[in-house]
Chains A and B, each alone.
Chain A
Amino acid sequence: MSVPLLHCLSREATVAGPGFSRWLVPPAAIAVHMCIGEVYGFSVFNEPMTRLIGGAAHDPTRDWTIPQVGWIYSIALVLLGLSAAVFGKWVERSGPRKTMVASAVCFCSGLVLSAIGVRLHALWLVYLGYGVVGGIGLGLGYIAPVSTLMKWFPDRPGMATGMAIMGFGGGALIGAPLGVSLMAHFKSAGDPGVAPAFLTMAGLYAAWMLFGAWLVRVPAADWKPEGWQPAAAGSKAGPARSVSVDQAWKTPQFWLLWLVLCMNVSAGIGVLGQASLMCQDMFGVGAAVGGGFAGLLSIFNMGGRFLWSSVSDLTGRRTVYAIYFLLGALLYALVPWTQKIGSRTLFVAVTALIISMYGGGFATIPAYLRDLFGTHQVGAIHGRLITAWSLAAVVGPGLINYISTAKKKAGVPAAEAYNGTLYLMCGLLLVGLVANLLVRPVHPRHHLQTIAP
């Protein structure tokens, strides 16, 4: 019984038959990414989880605190990066369906374990559930469809991966309001409804993720899009000859791209994490307007992923990153000026464009890796590169938080407290620009001579 089940998850069983439309693969990838993207909306559960014992009010002696529950998200993100790096080779070997099922099992059982943890008021179980088990599901799900999409869309790899990674961005837009709505539905006197909300989300997400796993297919070895002629391997227009994951990270190109991603993300995250407060401080608006600004940026973050990575198919990856860094630095330098002239509209337009390029940076990196290292183990290489994001997630918000707080304490008006940090972000982007300009094709000595099937 178990053997046929395991066989239908294998890479061999997912090879597409004749007549299969490649346009079924992006929705399969989006289905998984928009579910695991829920992690960025997880903070809506933080405050309700500090009222599990006290009910309407927080019981300071027995209830969990905000810093304690904040660790759930941090553990999940650390495990995302680690599992993507560690399991990358297994993901490539096993194929997308088995990985998507493994991701669904981990992510959804993590939610179930967390529901039990909330019910028993055992914080360690929530750390283990959502943080560790769920975090592994995040890492597996994030890299699972990347190389498959690029094999289906060799003519438009940027657009293909942009769609999936856009789904991840959209995950927070769905997860946060869904969590709030479910808690509102299940809450009762003395219970904020967190546990049943987790269980319902586990069921819904399992359905969508398994639908994606069922839908996904890999192309036959000799398949290519109708009418498309592959460019010569290693030529300017085509992908590089393949490089193995273990060899890739010994090349300077891997570390230059690591720096490119790290700088792009550090600069963007710095603004995103503080968007609401920054808008309030710089323009003296209320919390509702600040929250509205953060909401608008989320849409641009999502849209930029698809738009910019599609543009990269036309311009080339090096050019599009040069645009992110040059235009980004210029726009960052303009932000203090928008505050000076008191133009909220211009401020919103400038920051929205910055954030669209931040999202674009995430979505374009898999195609950049494919250009340099080929498609053979690009998912695994992408998994290892994600560690750049883990570092940037600490550096970016830390910088903007630390410097703006220090300036406010030093007596600088709140409206001007961000100027120094914004100029520093320009500097980070210029470092990224230099790294990007130094990227050259990988030396042939790193290429695989034969590729195992």
Chain B
Amino acid sequence: MKTVLLPIAWILVLAPLSWGVARSVQRSMPLFTGGTTAAPEKPVPTGPAGPASTNRP
């Protein structure tokens, strides 16, 4: 039980983290493949919290 628990515990936390990283890498692709011409900008919804925030502690 003890020997099985260790890999299971790590898989249970690393799997969602890897999924999140993969989604973020996917999101960052335009940075490497995108052109340099600015597209018409959509208004960014902001409130007291600001835009979709990454300023995490």
Contact = CB atoms under 8 A, between A and B. Distances in A.
B56 A299 contact: no
For B9, B55, B56, which residue has the most chain A Cβ atoms within 10 angstroms? B56
Contacts of A285: 34-38
A242 to B, nearest CB: 25
B14 to A, nearest CB: 8
Contacts of A176: 52
A27 B9 contact: yes
Contacts of B5: 24, 215
Interface in B15-57: 16-17, 19-21, 23-25, 27-32, 34-39, 41-42, 44-57
A276 B56 CA distance: 16
A31 interface: yes
Q: When A and B form their complex, which 7 residue pairs have the shortest distance between CB atoms, in order from nearest?
A: A70-B47, A173-B20, A292-B31, A286-B39, A295-B27, A73-B49, A174-B20
Given A288-B34, A293-B31, A386-B57, A173 B48 contact: no
Given A73-B49, A285-B38, A286-B38, A348 B31 contact: yes
Contacts of A280: 38, 41
Given A37-B56, A215-B9, A170 B48 contact: no
Give the size range of A's interface with the partner. 35 or more
B34 A276 contact: no
Given A70-B46, A273-B50, A287-B39, A170 B6 contact: no
A283 B31 CA distance: 11
Given A299-B24, A299-B25, A397 B50 contact: yes
B12 A168 contact: no
Given A142-B57, A174-B20, A296-B24, A43 B34 contact: no
A46 B17 contact: no
A226 B49 CA distance: 47
B57 A389 contact: yes
Given A27-B10, A285-B38, A273 B20 contact: no
Given A71-B48, A286-B30, 4 more contacts: A67-B47, A70-B50, A72-B49, A287-B41
Nearest to B55: A269
B33 to A, nearest CB: 9
B53 A40 contact: yes
A380 interface: no
Nearest to A46: B45
Contacts of A168: 56-57
Contacts of B31: 289, 292-293, 295-296, 348
Contact of A287 (B12, B28, B42): B42
B27 A362 contact: no
B20 A43 contact: no
A24 B50 contact: no
Given A67-B48, A285-B36, A288-B39, A24 B9 contact: yes
Contacts of B52: 41, 43-44, 176, 294
Contact of B24 (A47, A142, A173): A173
Contacts of A215: 5, 9
B47 A66 contact: yes
Given A142-B57, A265-B57, A286 B6 contact: no
B21 A283 contact: no
Contacts of B48: 67, 70-71, 73-74
